[in-house]
Amino acid sequence: MPWTRKDLLGIAGLSPAEILEVLDTAATMKEISTREIKKVPVLRGKTVVNLFFEASTRTRVSFEIAEKRLSADAVNVSTSGSSVSKGETLLDTARNLQAMNPDIIVLRHSCPGTPALLASRLPAAVINAGDGAHEHPTQALLDLFTIRERLGRIAGLTVGIFGDIAHSRVARSDLLALRALGARVLVGGPPGMIPPGIEEMGAEIAPRLERMLPELDVLIMLRIQLERQGGALFPSGREYATHFGLSPERLLLGRRELLVMHPGPVNRGIEVSPEVADGPQSLILDQVTSGVAVRMAVLYLLSGANRAAAAVEGRGAHER
Protein backbone atom coordinates (compact mmCIF):
# COMPACT_ATOMS: atom_id res chain seq x y z
CA MET A 1 0.00 0.00 0.00
CA PRO A 2 1.26 3.50 -0.69
CA TRP A 3 2.43 5.54 2.29
CA THR A 4 0.17 8.55 2.85
CA ARG A 5 1.16 9.92 6.26
CA LYS A 6 2.71 13.35 6.50
CA ASP A 7 4.52 12.56 9.76
CA LEU A 8 5.87 9.64 11.75
CA LEU A 9 4.84 10.40 15.31
CA GLY A 10 4.64 6.93 16.79
CA ILE A 11 3.95 3.27 16.17
CA ALA A 12 0.49 3.68 17.70
CA GLY A 13 -1.97 4.02 14.85
CA LEU A 14 0.28 2.48 12.18
CA SER A 15 -1.28 -0.45 10.40
CA PRO A 16 0.67 -3.70 10.01
CA ALA A 17 0.82 -2.95 6.25
CA GLU A 18 2.44 0.43 6.93
CA ILE A 19 5.01 -1.11 9.25
CA LEU A 20 5.82 -3.72 6.61
CA GLU A 21 6.11 -1.01 3.96
CA VAL A 22 8.87 0.64 6.03
CA LEU A 23 10.65 -2.67 6.62
CA ASP A 24 10.51 -3.65 2.93
CA THR A 25 11.74 -0.24 1.81
CA ALA A 26 14.53 -0.43 4.39
CA ALA A 27 15.66 -3.76 2.95
CA THR A 28 16.23 -1.97 -0.33
CA MET A 29 17.96 0.98 1.31
CA LYS A 30 20.37 -1.26 3.16
CA GLU A 31 22.16 -2.21 -0.05
CA ILE A 32 23.06 1.44 -0.70
CA SER A 33 25.16 1.51 2.47
CA THR A 34 27.28 -1.37 1.16
CA ARG A 35 28.31 0.48 -2.00
CA GLU A 36 31.56 2.25 -2.65
CA ILE A 37 29.59 5.44 -3.27
CA LYS A 38 27.03 5.37 -0.48
CA LYS A 39 24.67 7.94 -1.89
CA VAL A 40 21.61 8.15 -4.11
CA PRO A 41 20.13 11.44 -5.37
CA VAL A 42 16.49 10.89 -4.45
CA LEU A 43 16.22 13.65 -1.80
CA ARG A 44 18.51 16.10 -3.56
CA GLY A 45 17.48 19.63 -2.71
CA LYS A 46 15.45 18.62 0.35
CA THR A 47 16.36 20.18 3.68
CA VAL A 48 16.14 18.14 6.87
CA VAL A 49 16.53 19.73 10.30
CA ASN A 50 17.59 17.46 13.14
CA LEU A 51 16.21 19.23 16.18
CA PHE A 52 17.46 17.57 19.34
CA PHE A 53 16.40 18.95 22.70
CA GLU A 54 17.86 15.89 24.44
CA ALA A 55 21.32 14.41 24.33
CA SER A 56 21.80 11.77 21.67
CA THR A 57 24.72 10.50 19.69
CA ARG A 58 23.56 7.32 18.01
CA THR A 59 20.12 8.43 16.91
CA ARG A 60 21.25 11.84 15.68
CA VAL A 61 24.21 10.45 13.77
CA SER A 62 22.06 7.67 12.36
CA PHE A 63 19.51 10.18 11.06
CA GLU A 64 22.24 12.42 9.71
CA ILE A 65 23.92 9.58 7.83
CA ALA A 66 20.56 8.42 6.47
CA GLU A 67 19.79 11.95 5.26
CA LYS A 68 23.16 12.32 3.60
CA ARG A 69 22.95 8.93 1.87
CA LEU A 70 19.74 10.14 0.25
CA SER A 71 21.44 13.44 -0.74
CA ALA A 72 19.28 15.63 1.52
CA ASP A 73 20.87 18.67 3.14
CA ALA A 74 21.04 17.95 6.86
CA VAL A 75 21.20 20.66 9.51
CA ASN A 76 21.75 19.84 13.15
CA VAL A 77 20.25 21.96 15.90
CA SER A 78 20.93 20.77 19.40
CA THR A 79 19.55 22.75 22.25
CA SER A 80 20.40 20.55 25.20
CA GLY A 81 21.00 22.60 28.29
CA SER A 82 18.59 25.33 27.26
CA SER A 83 16.95 26.77 30.34
CA VAL A 84 14.08 28.58 28.71
CA SER A 85 10.62 27.21 29.43
CA LYS A 86 9.84 24.34 27.13
CA GLY A 87 6.55 25.09 25.41
CA GLU A 88 7.37 28.61 24.28
CA THR A 89 10.86 27.75 23.22
CA LEU A 90 9.75 24.83 21.17
CA LEU A 91 7.08 26.65 19.23
CA ASP A 92 9.27 29.69 18.75
CA THR A 93 12.15 27.57 17.56
CA ALA A 94 9.83 25.64 15.30
CA ARG A 95 8.32 28.77 13.77
CA ASN A 96 11.75 30.17 13.12
CA LEU A 97 12.86 26.96 11.51
CA GLN A 98 9.74 26.78 9.41
CA ALA A 99 10.47 30.27 8.14
CA MET A 100 13.55 28.74 6.52
CA ASN A 101 11.32 26.22 4.75
CA PRO A 102 12.68 22.81 5.71
CA ASP A 103 11.02 19.73 4.25
CA ILE A 104 11.45 17.41 7.21
CA ILE A 105 12.04 18.04 10.90
CA VAL A 106 13.43 15.25 13.05
CA LEU A 107 12.56 16.03 16.65
CA ARG A 108 13.74 14.65 19.95
CA HIS A 109 12.29 16.20 23.07
CA SER A 110 11.91 15.15 26.70
CA CYS A 111 8.27 16.16 26.70
CA PRO A 112 5.78 13.59 25.34
CA GLY A 113 3.60 14.87 22.53
CA THR A 114 5.90 17.59 21.26
CA PRO A 115 6.30 15.97 17.81
CA ALA A 116 2.51 15.86 17.45
CA LEU A 117 2.31 19.51 18.46
CA LEU A 118 4.88 20.52 15.84
CA ALA A 119 3.31 18.30 13.22
CA SER A 120 -0.04 19.99 13.69
CA ARG A 121 1.44 23.47 13.36
CA LEU A 122 4.00 23.09 10.58
CA PRO A 123 3.77 22.08 6.95
CA ALA A 124 7.10 20.26 7.22
CA ALA A 125 7.01 16.51 7.84
CA VAL A 126 7.87 15.65 11.44
CA ILE A 127 9.66 12.51 12.54
CA ASN A 128 9.56 11.65 16.22
CA ALA A 129 13.09 10.69 17.29
CA GLY A 130 11.97 10.09 20.87
CA ASP A 131 9.56 12.14 22.99
CA GLY A 132 9.93 11.61 26.72
CA ALA A 133 8.61 8.24 27.84
CA HIS A 134 6.07 8.20 25.01
CA GLU A 135 7.43 6.75 21.75
CA HIS A 136 10.57 6.21 19.70
CA PRO A 137 9.13 4.79 16.49
CA THR A 138 12.28 4.52 14.37
CA GLN A 139 13.97 2.51 17.14
CA ALA A 140 11.08 0.04 17.15
CA LEU A 141 11.12 -0.19 13.36
CA LEU A 142 14.86 -0.86 13.31
CA ASP A 143 14.45 -3.48 16.05
CA LEU A 144 11.80 -5.25 13.96
CA PHE A 145 13.93 -4.94 10.84
CA THR A 146 16.89 -6.49 12.66
CA ILE A 147 14.80 -9.37 14.00
CA ARG A 148 13.13 -10.03 10.67
CA GLU A 149 16.43 -9.92 8.84
CA ARG A 150 17.86 -12.56 11.16
CA LEU A 151 14.84 -14.78 11.76
CA GLY A 152 12.83 -14.13 8.60
CA ARG A 153 9.62 -13.18 10.36
CA ILE A 154 8.03 -11.42 13.33
CA ALA A 155 4.70 -13.25 13.59
CA GLY A 156 4.78 -16.15 16.00
CA LEU A 157 8.03 -15.16 17.72
CA THR A 158 8.22 -14.66 21.46
CA VAL A 159 10.10 -11.50 22.35
CA GLY A 160 11.03 -10.38 25.87
CA ILE A 161 11.54 -6.77 26.87
CA PHE A 162 13.32 -6.37 30.18
CA GLY A 163 14.24 -3.35 32.29
CA ASP A 164 12.63 -0.07 33.17
CA ILE A 165 9.47 -0.61 31.14
CA ALA A 166 7.64 2.26 32.81
CA HIS A 167 10.04 4.99 31.72
CA SER A 168 11.03 3.54 28.36
CA ARG A 169 9.73 4.94 25.10
CA VAL A 170 11.63 2.15 23.34
CA ALA A 171 9.69 -0.49 25.28
CA ARG A 172 6.41 1.16 24.39
CA SER A 173 7.12 1.49 20.68
CA ASP A 174 8.65 -2.00 20.50
CA LEU A 175 5.65 -3.53 22.24
CA LEU A 176 3.18 -1.83 19.88
CA ALA A 177 5.12 -2.76 16.76
CA LEU A 178 5.78 -6.36 17.79
CA ARG A 179 2.14 -6.89 18.67
CA ALA A 180 0.97 -5.30 15.43
CA LEU A 181 2.97 -7.86 13.47
CA GLY A 182 1.83 -10.79 15.56
CA ALA A 183 4.65 -11.48 18.02
CA ARG A 184 4.07 -12.55 21.60
CA VAL A 185 5.67 -10.08 23.99
CA LEU A 186 6.76 -10.71 27.57
CA VAL A 187 7.77 -7.74 29.67
CA GLY A 188 9.70 -7.79 32.91
CA GLY A 189 11.81 -5.66 35.16
CA PRO A 190 12.49 -4.69 38.74
CA PRO A 191 9.51 -4.05 40.98
CA GLY A 192 8.10 -0.60 40.33
CA MET A 193 9.37 -0.50 36.77
CA ILE A 194 6.45 -2.34 35.20
CA PRO A 195 3.60 0.08 34.60
CA PRO A 196 0.10 -1.00 35.62
CA GLY A 197 -2.15 -1.66 32.64
CA ILE A 198 0.63 -2.82 30.32
CA GLU A 199 -1.37 -6.01 29.69
CA GLU A 200 -3.96 -3.90 27.93
CA MET A 201 -1.33 -3.13 25.29
CA GLY A 202 -0.97 -6.84 24.65
CA ALA A 203 2.02 -7.65 26.85
CA GLU A 204 2.31 -10.54 29.25
CA ILE A 205 4.12 -9.85 32.50
CA ALA A 206 7.03 -12.09 33.46
CA PRO A 207 8.77 -10.04 36.11
CA ARG A 208 11.99 -12.00 36.40
CA LEU A 209 14.53 -12.69 33.69
CA GLU A 210 14.85 -16.28 34.89
CA ARG A 211 11.19 -16.81 34.17
CA MET A 212 10.98 -15.33 30.72
CA LEU A 213 14.34 -16.52 29.34
CA PRO A 214 13.45 -20.13 28.48
CA GLU A 215 10.50 -19.01 26.33
CA LEU A 216 12.21 -16.37 24.23
CA ASP A 217 13.40 -16.11 20.65
CA VAL A 218 14.64 -12.56 21.24
CA LEU A 219 15.42 -10.59 24.38
CA ILE A 220 15.52 -6.79 24.29
CA MET A 221 17.38 -5.45 27.33
CA LEU A 222 16.61 -1.83 28.14
CA ARG A 223 19.10 0.73 29.29
CA ILE A 224 18.90 1.63 32.93
CA GLN A 225 18.83 5.39 33.04
CA LEU A 226 21.02 5.81 36.08
CA GLU A 227 21.01 9.57 35.61
CA ARG A 228 17.23 9.65 35.96
CA GLN A 229 16.66 7.12 38.69
CA GLY A 230 18.29 9.09 41.47
CA GLY A 231 18.67 5.88 43.46
CA ALA A 232 14.96 5.69 44.11
CA LEU A 233 14.23 2.29 42.62
CA PHE A 234 17.48 0.45 43.22
CA PRO A 235 20.56 1.40 45.16
CA SER A 236 23.41 0.94 42.67
CA GLY A 237 24.49 -0.38 39.32
CA ARG A 238 26.17 -3.35 40.94
CA GLU A 239 23.00 -4.17 42.83
CA TYR A 240 21.04 -4.03 39.56
CA ALA A 241 23.54 -6.27 37.80
CA THR A 242 23.36 -8.85 40.58
CA HIS A 243 19.60 -9.12 40.52
CA PHE A 244 18.53 -8.09 37.03
CA GLY A 245 21.56 -7.99 34.75
CA LEU A 246 22.00 -10.32 31.78
CA SER A 247 25.11 -12.29 32.74
CA PRO A 248 26.58 -15.24 30.80
CA GLU A 249 25.17 -17.52 33.52
CA ARG A 250 21.65 -16.17 33.14
CA LEU A 251 21.93 -16.30 29.35
CA LEU A 252 22.35 -20.09 29.66
CA LEU A 253 18.75 -20.27 30.88
CA GLY A 254 17.63 -19.30 27.40
CA ARG A 255 17.66 -21.33 24.22
CA ARG A 256 20.97 -21.54 22.44
CA GLU A 257 19.58 -19.55 19.48
CA LEU A 258 18.27 -16.74 21.70
CA LEU A 259 19.19 -13.34 20.28
CA VAL A 260 20.03 -10.40 22.52
CA MET A 261 19.29 -6.80 21.62
CA HIS A 262 19.79 -3.45 23.30
CA PRO A 263 18.85 0.03 22.06
CA GLY A 264 22.09 1.51 23.39
CA PRO A 265 24.03 3.05 24.83
CA VAL A 266 24.88 -0.03 26.89
CA ASN A 267 25.78 0.30 30.54
CA ARG A 268 28.36 -2.46 30.38
CA GLY A 269 28.27 -4.66 33.42
CA ILE A 270 24.94 -3.30 34.63
CA GLU A 271 22.01 -4.41 32.47
CA VAL A 272 24.17 -6.48 30.14
CA SER A 273 27.56 -7.98 30.92
CA PRO A 274 30.38 -7.29 28.44
CA GLU A 275 30.65 -11.01 27.55
CA VAL A 276 27.01 -11.06 26.48
CA ALA A 277 27.07 -7.67 24.73
CA ASP A 278 30.05 -8.75 22.61
CA GLY A 279 29.01 -12.40 22.35
CA PRO A 280 27.74 -14.38 19.37
CA GLN A 281 24.09 -14.03 20.41
CA SER A 282 24.25 -10.23 20.46
CA LEU A 283 22.61 -8.21 17.67
CA ILE A 284 23.52 -4.85 19.19
CA LEU A 285 25.72 -3.68 16.33
CA ASP A 286 23.34 -5.11 13.70
CA GLN A 287 20.72 -2.82 15.22
CA VAL A 288 22.92 0.19 14.60
CA THR A 289 23.45 -0.82 10.97
CA SER A 290 19.71 -1.40 10.52
CA GLY A 291 19.03 2.03 12.00
CA VAL A 292 20.48 3.87 9.02
CA ALA A 293 18.51 1.77 6.50
CA VAL A 294 15.24 2.15 8.40
CA ARG A 295 15.66 5.92 8.74
CA MET A 296 16.44 6.18 5.02
CA ALA A 297 13.20 4.31 4.35
CA VAL A 298 11.17 6.61 6.60
CA LEU A 299 12.67 9.74 5.04
CA TYR A 300 11.94 8.41 1.56
CA LEU A 301 8.36 7.42 2.33
CA LEU A 302 7.50 10.69 4.08
CA SER A 303 8.93 12.71 1.19
CA GLY A 304 6.66 10.85 -1.19
CA ALA A 305 3.53 11.37 0.89
CA ASN A 306 4.21 15.07 1.32
CA ARG A 307 4.98 15.58 -2.32
CA ALA A 308 1.61 14.05 -3.13
CA ALA A 309 -0.12 16.29 -0.60
CA ALA A 310 1.62 19.38 -1.98
CA ALA A 311 0.52 18.47 -5.49
CA VAL A 312 -3.10 18.26 -4.38
CA GLU A 313 -3.24 21.42 -2.31
CA GLY A 314 -0.70 23.57 -4.07
CA ARG A 315 2.75 23.67 -2.57
CA GLY A 316 2.83 25.15 0.89
CA ALA A 317 -0.84 26.07 0.75
CA HIS A 318 -1.78 23.86 3.67
CA GLU A 319 0.05 25.98 6.19
CA ARG A 320 -2.26 26.98 8.99
Partner 1 sequence: MNAKAEILDEAGIRRALVRIAHEILEKNQGLADVVLVGLRSRGDHIARRLAELLRDIEGSAVPVGVMDVTLYRDDLAHAAHWPRVQRTEVPFPVEARHVVLVDDVLFTGRSVRAALDSLMDLGRPLSIQLAVLVDRGHRELPIRADFVGKNVPTARREAVRVLLRETDGEDRVVIAAGEQERR
Between residues 32 and 260, which has the closer beta carbon with respect to partner 1?
A: 32
- The residue annotated as part of the active site, out of 30, 60, 69, 108, is 108
Task: Please confirm, yes or no, whether 59 is among the known catalytic residues.
Answer: yes
Task: Please confirm, yes or no, whether 86 is among the known catalytic residues.
Answer: yes
Minimum gap (Å) between residue 74 Cβ and partner 1: 17
β pairing state of 259-261 and 218-221: parallel
Q: Contact at 8 Å (CB) between 131 and 107?
A: yes
* H/E segment holding residue 227: helix 226-229
Strand locations in the chain (E): 47-52, 73-78, 104-109, 125-131, 158-162, 184-188, 203-205, 218-221, 259-261
Between residues 28 and 96, which has the closer beta carbon with respect to partner 1?
A: 28
- The residue annotated as part of the active site, out of 46, 60, 136, 172, is 136
Minimum gap (Å) between residue 150 Cβ and partner 1: 18
DSSP 130-199: EETTTB-HHHHHHHHHHHHHHHS-STT-EEEEES--TT-HHHHHHHHHHHHTT-EEEEE-STT-S-TTGG
Identity of the amino acid at 295: R
Between residues 99 and 312, which has the closer beta carbon with respect to partner 1?
A: 312
Task: Please confirm, yes or no, whether 318 is among the known catalytic residues.
Answer: no
- The residue annotated as part of the active site, out of 25, 30, 46, 59, is 59
- The residue annotated as part of the active site, out of 58, 68, 208, 211, is 58
Q: Which residues bind partner 1 (CB under 8 A)?
A: 2-3, 24-25, 27-29, 31-32, 35-37, 39-42, 70, 300-301, 303-305, 307-308
Q: Contact at 8 Å (CB) between 190 and 232?
A: no
Between residues 228 and 307, which has the closer beta carbon with respect to partner 1?
A: 307
Minimum gap (Å) between residue 41 Cβ and partner 1: 6
Minimum gap (Å) between residue 71 Cβ and partner 1: 9
Q: Which residues are catalytic?
A: 58-59, 86, 108, 136
